[in-house]
Structures are given as structure tokens and as C-alpha cells.
């Protein structure tokens, strides 16, 4: 089996502010396996602060595996996901089906799948305008990055914390800019402590907010935060394997699981976790890892398999400075769903 590794860099259109820092470029490695017309592709693009390996560790792991692809796959999370994604897509190509059909044994019944828009602007008015634009374009949900730092020009360490009132006001501005039928999702990336999370979220708890992801670094806080502020909690960074999912569900910490195939071991692992969550009454949202084209195709196909009528975090192609392929770029808030295997490995 032929293996090709290709490093890439994709600059973002504007910096993406998160609680883990500012993201300005996505650096990754595309993995392609197979020969001629039958090729599967995956990718690894680790991000600091998300509990995965470094870029250099991922690259070294893939280079070792490429020397002996019949041997054990990498143990590093993102590298392992890239390999499993490429091999699974290759299997779909060989069988002549889409990856989503390979996972579910059922052909897609719809031609498109909904994506949420991602908003990270720290200025409340700008964030509200961007959210309103996303809704007008057809997105059925907006995810707002919260708990991030903003730039400080006072000569300090380069960042400053928004006041609690400012953080709440920003959320209010964005929610009021959205029509009633468009959901608002918050993502704190574990950037608050419990007291701060409650102080920011309590004033907005009466608004129509679908859920908040990872409000603090400690899942033990989440159930109390949810009860106090009246907003559902979703897990993301803390979902690394099925045991972690089970523990969070058992203690009543979450009502939503945000699943990233790019860090969970690939599409099979993410799909299996979604089924496991569903049996316990927890729904799943599939998300990209701000991926390049190969990773976005894997995330899209996994989302189609997990919940074809849901709204997923797979529309991040619009965050990049350069145009991405049409099949992974949202149009009217949706991505097209391929009906043939060849469309998933372009």
C-alpha cells in the first residue's frame, strides 16, 4: 500500500480568539493511502491546549508508520485519527460507497447537511453583526467563542481579561442579533473558573442559548453550573475516549457531546461514541478541528452518519484566507452531501 505525507499551512482570514490563545494559521499533514483511482485521505493538525500531541510529534509518528503501514498505527491521537480516517475512506472507495454509508450501512437520504457559523470577534457590536450575517446567509446556528482574552496595548503581557459584565453583554448582543429560529451555542474552551462561569452566564440564562461547551476545566463543576444558570453543558476537550464519555454522563455533567473525528481516532471512533451517547440520552454534534479539506470531508461524512438532520460544526472552511474546495465550503449554511464514494476523496 502506497502512503504519501504532505505538509501544509492554511492561514486564517482573521485571528481566531479562544481561551487557549489566538489561532492565525493551521499547520497540518495530509495522509493519503492507496493507489491510482482508489485513494483515502486523512489529516492531522494538532492545536496547543487541546490535550493532543504536538505537530512535530504527530509528524514523527506518521513518518514512522509510513515506513511500515502494515504495522501498528500511531498511538498519538491526531496522527492515529489521520491514519484511521485515510484507511476508512480507502475502504469506502474500494466498496464504491460513501464513508457515511460505510459507517451506517445506509445510503444518505438528503443532499445537504446544516453547519453552524463560528464567531469569535471580541467587540460585541462586531460579533453581533457577524452573527446576524451568518443567520441571513442561512446558518441555523451560531457558535460564539467566549472566555477568550483580548489584546492589551498597555505594554503588559499582550492580553487582558474582559470584565464579567462585558462578557455577558457580548453574549446578549449576539443573541439579540439572531432570529428566534437560529440557535446560539457558546464555547468557553474551559476558560472560566466556576465562579466566573456563573457570573457571566447567570445574566444570560433566560435567553435562548442551546448549550455552553466546556465552561471550566473541571467537569465536576458542570452540573452545578448548568442548574444554577439554566443552560445545558456540552463536553468537547474532555471527550478523548469512551470511558470519559461514560463518566461525564454518569455524573450528569453533560447533555451534549461535541465529537471531533480528528482527535477521537477517526470516523469509526466518533460514530461509535455518538451511538454510545445516544443510548444514554445524550445527543452529539460533530465538529471539525478547524481542518483542511481532507479533515473536513471526514467530519462531514461522520456528521451525516451521526445525525443527518442536526446542525454540526463542519463549516469552518470559511475561516481560511484562501478559498477551499466547493464540496467542503458552506453555501447557504449547508454543505453538500455526496452520493458517490468518489465525492468524498476528491
What tens digit of pLDDT does each residue of 289-300 get? 999 999 999 999
Do residues 53 and 76 lie in contact, with contact meaning Cβ atoms separated by under 8 Å? yes
Domain end marker among 46, 66, 97: 97
| 277/317 same-domain check | yes
| 89/152 same-domain check | no
Do residues 96 and 281 lie in contact, with contact meaning Cβ atoms separated by under 8 Å? no
| 88/182 same-domain check | no
What's the pLDDT at 159? Answer: 41
Rounded Cα distance, 142 and 119, in Å = 7
Domain end marker among 73, 97, 121: 97
Rounded Cα distance, 15 and 260, in Å = 21
The reply to whether 291 falls in a domain is: yes
**What total number of domains does the chain contain?**
2
Please report, in angstroms and rounded to a whole number, the separation of the first and last CA atoms in the chain.
19
Rounded Cα distance, 152 and 229, in Å = 30
Domain end marker among 97, 127, 160: 97
Closest by alpha carbon to 257, among 281, 232, 284? 284
The reply to whether 7 falls in a domain is: yes
| 53/128 same-domain check | no
| 156/227 same-domain check | yes
Record the cell numbers describing residue 201, joined without a space.
452566564
Question: What number of CA atoms fall less than 13 Å from residue 272's CA on the CB side?
Answer: 11
Do residues 262 and 249 lie in contact, with contact meaning Cβ atoms separated by under 8 Å? no
What's the pLDDT at 346? Answer: 55
Place of cell 459584565: 165
The reply to whether 215 falls in a domain is: yes
| 341/211 same-domain check | yes
Rounded Cα distance, 299 and 285, in Å = 10
| 243/336 same-domain check | yes
| 128/83 same-domain check | no
Rounded Cα distance, 299 and 315, in Å = 10
The reply to whether 105 falls in a domain is: no
Residue-wise burial string across 109-135, b where 16 or more C-beta atoms lie within 10 A, e elsewhere? eeebbbbbbbbbbbebeebbbbbbebb
**Strand runs labelled E in 86-165:** 112-115, 117-119, 141-145, 149-151, 159-161
What's the pLDDT at 37? Answer: 82
| 171/298 same-domain check | yes
| 144/273 same-domain check | yes
Do residues 171 and 210 lie in contact, with contact meaning Cβ atoms separated by under 8 Å? no
The reply to whether 73 falls in a domain is: yes
| 67/168 same-domain check | no
Q: What angle do CA 220, 224, 229 make, to 5 degrees?
A: 135
| CATH number of the domain encompassing residue 40 | 3.30.390.10
| 234/338 same-domain check | yes
The reply to whether 107 falls in a domain is: no
The reply to whether 103 falls in a domain is: no
The residues of the chain scoring below 50 in pLDDT are: 150-159, 343-344
The residues, ordered by sequence, that sit 6+ positions from 88 with a Cβ below 8 Å of its Cβ are 40, 99, 102, 266, 267, 268
Residue numbers of the domain that contains 250? 112-345
Rounded Cα distance, 239 and 302, in Å = 16
pLDDT digits (tens, 9 = 90+) for 264-306: 999 999 999 999 999 999 999 999 999 999 999 999 999 999 9
| CATH number of the domain encompassing residue 296 | 3.20.20.120
Closest by alpha carbon to 48, among 27, 29, 66? 27
The reply to whether 232 falls in a domain is: yes
Amino acid at each position: 500500500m502506497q502512503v504519501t505525507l504532505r505538509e501544509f499551512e492554511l492561514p486564517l482570514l482573521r485571528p481566531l480568539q479562544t481561551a487557549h490563545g489566538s489561532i492565525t494559521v493551521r499547520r497540518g499533514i495530509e495522509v493519503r493511502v492507496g493507489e491510482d483511482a482508489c485513494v483515502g485521505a486523512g489529516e492531522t493538525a494538532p492545536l496547543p491546549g487541546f490535550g493532543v500531541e504536538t505537530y512535530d510529534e504527530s509528524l514523527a509518528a506518521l513518518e514512522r508508520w509510513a515506513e511500515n503501514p502494515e504495522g501498528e498505527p500511531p498511538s498519538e491521537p491526531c496522527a492515529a485519527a489521520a491514519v484511521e480516517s485515510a484507511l476508512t475512506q480507502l475502504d469506502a472507495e474500494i466498496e464504491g460507497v460513501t464513508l457515511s454509508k460505510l459507517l451506517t450501512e445506509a445510503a444518505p437520504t438528503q443532499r445537504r447537511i446544516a453547519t453552524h457559523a463560528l464567531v469569535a470577534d471580541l467587540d460585541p457590536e462586531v460579533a453581533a453583526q457577524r452573527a446576524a450575517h451568518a443567520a441571513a446567509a442561512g446558518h441555523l446556528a451560531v457558535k460564539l467563542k467566549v472566555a477568550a482574552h483580548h489584546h492589551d496595548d498597555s505594554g503588559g503581557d499582550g492580553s487582558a481579561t474582559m470584565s464579567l459584565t462585558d462578557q455577558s453583554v457580548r453574549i446578549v448582543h449576539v443573541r439579540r442579533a439572531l432570529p428566534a429560529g437560529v440557535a446560539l451555542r457558546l464555547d468557553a474552551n474551559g476558560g472560566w473558573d466556576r465562579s466566573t462561569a456563573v457570573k457571566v452566564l447567570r445574566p444570560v440564562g433566560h435567553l435562548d442559548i442551546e448549550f455552553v461547551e466546556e465552561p471550566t476545566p473541571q467537569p465536576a463543576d458542570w452540573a452545578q453550573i448548568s442548574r444554577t444558570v439554566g443552560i445545558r453543558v456540552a463536553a468537547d476537550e474532555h471527550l478523548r475516549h469512551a470511558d470519559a464519555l461514560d463518566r461525564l454522563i454518569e455524573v450528569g455533567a453533560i447533555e451534549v457531546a461535541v465529537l471531533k473525528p480528528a482527535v477521537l481516532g477517526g470516523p469509526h471512533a466518533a460514530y461509535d461514541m455518538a451511538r454510545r451517547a445516544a443510548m444514554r440520552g445524550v445527543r452529539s454534534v460533530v465538529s471539525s478541528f478547524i481542518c483542511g479539506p481532507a479533515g473536513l470531508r471526514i467530519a462531514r461524512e461522520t456528521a451525516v452518519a451521526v445525525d443527518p438532520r442536526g446542525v454540526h460544526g463542519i463549516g469552518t472552511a470559511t475561516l481560511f484566507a484562501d478559498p477551499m474546495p466547493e464540496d467542503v465550503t458552506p453555501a447557504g449554511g449547508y454543505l453538500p452531501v455526496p452520493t458517490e464514494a468518489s465525492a468524498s476523496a476528491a
